[in-house]
Homo-oligomer: A and B are copies of this chain.
Amino acid sequence: MATIKDIANRLGVSVSTVSKGLNGASDISEQLRQTVLDTAVEMGYTPKQMRTRATKKLCIFIENMDYETSEQFGYDIILGFKQAAYPAHYSVTVMPVTPAFQESEKYDVYMLKNGYVGAFFVGFALKDAWLAQLSGTSIPTTLFDNYIRKNPNVSYIGTDNFEGIDYAIEHLIALGHRKIALLNGSAHSMITEQRRQAYIESMNAHDLEISEKWMPYGYYVAAAAKDHVANLLSLGATAIVCGNDLLASGAIDECRAHGYRVPEDVSIIGFDDIPISAQLNPPLTTVRQDRIELGKCGFFALHSLINHVSVSKNLLRPQLIIRNSTAPVRK
């Protein structure tokens, strides 16, 4: 476990400042105190006050998502959740689950047996056994990017995909693009459908033509770009909005493979802003989901459910990060 000195070194402040932050002393600023606490959580140091008062147990169940290192999508989500949960005197267990594990025991039973008062689901698929059980659960449960109808014990948190796609389209229109395609992620996903609907609404709102051919479904991996980019280019697309950053990186490669330069000939926009996006060639323009905020938001929604405030949906603002994969349309 990290020591107070480790935290002080990381932040470049004195040990006594870290001490004050951890103990809630009044003679350091609120902002510095928060930074000290957030860093302590990230480094695995739990202040004694949090440890001794932590009586309520939460569990984060995670599937289909990497989270062990800071480059991976899930890392910051879990970190943000813990940063919000520990000061509120919860303990947090992170548990990867598989479909087989979900078949082995009912969700509610597992929660009760282990004394968890609530859970946060990250990366689950619609066909998962535990997801199907959530319509009837009495356990406070918050889902990242999934929604359960009419159960007041379950809430959905995520990024506002409609605003995110609209940011991307408006940016491209401002650059003179009119022939804008959507290379979407996997079908049968709530998020994919939201982004598709958002694309349709945004294109309609700007009087731009759309048709089915311009919004193909792919998968949320780079390789899926191979199946669709050549066709979109042959249709005359000058810009492609992609379902996530991996797809966008694949789309950049495909454009090059067909003799198109990015961004001179074709503009490419991603979604998520994973850490690698800034390192792509060219660095990727993308719609950021702030994963630390998503984690904190997940905790707030779950904490609300536990306190009998039946949050249904809690959506965060996306942010357009403009880098070098977009440029004015070629004359």
Question: A residues bordering B, Cβ < 8 Å?
Answer: 34, 149-150, 152, 160, 163, 167, 290, 293, 296-297, 300, 304, 307-317, 319
Contacts and interface: CB of A to CB of B under 8 A. Distances in A.
Nearest to A155: B317
Contacts of A309: 293, 296-297, 300, 316
Given A163-B312, A315-B313, A297 B304 contact: yes
Contact of A297 (B34, B167, B311): B311
- Chain A's interface: helix, strand, loop or mixed, by majority? mixed
27 contacts: A34-B307, A149-B163, A150-B163, A150-B167, A150-B317, A152-B317, A160-B313, A163-B312, A293-B308, A293-B309, A293-B310, A296-B304, A296-B307, A297-B311, A300-B300, A300-B304, A300-B309, A311-B314, A311-B315, A311-B317, A312-B315, A312-B316, A312-B317, A313-B313, A313-B314, A313-B315, A314-B315
A51 to B, nearest CB: 15
- Which 5 A-B pairs give the minimum distances between C-beta atoms? A310-B317, A152-B317, A313-B315, A312-B317, A293-B309
Given A149-B163, A163-B150, A310 B316 contact: yes
Contacts of A314: 311, 313-315
A312 B149 contact: no
Contacts of A34: 307
Given A297-B311, A310-B317, 5 more contacts: A300-B309, A310-B316, A311-B315, A312-B315, A314-B315
How many copies of this chain? 2
Nearest to A156: B315
Contacts of A311: 297, 314-317
A316 B296 CA distance: 18
A167 B34 CA distance: 42
Contacts of A310: 290, 293, 316-317
A75 to B, nearest CB: 18
Contacts of A312: 160, 163, 315-317
Contacts of A160: 312-313
Contacts of A313: 160, 313-315
A312 B163 CA distance: 10
A149 B300 CA distance: 22
A290 B313 CA distance: 15
Contact of A152 (B150, B152, B319): B319
A34 B306 CA distance: 12
A5 to B, nearest CB: 27
Nearest to A149: B163
A316 B309 CA distance: 8
Contacts of A290: 310
A267 B290 CA distance: 47
A57 to B, nearest CB: 14
Residue from A290, A304, A312, A319 having most chain B Cβ neighbours under 10 A: A312
A316 B307 CA distance: 13
A317 B312 CA distance: 5
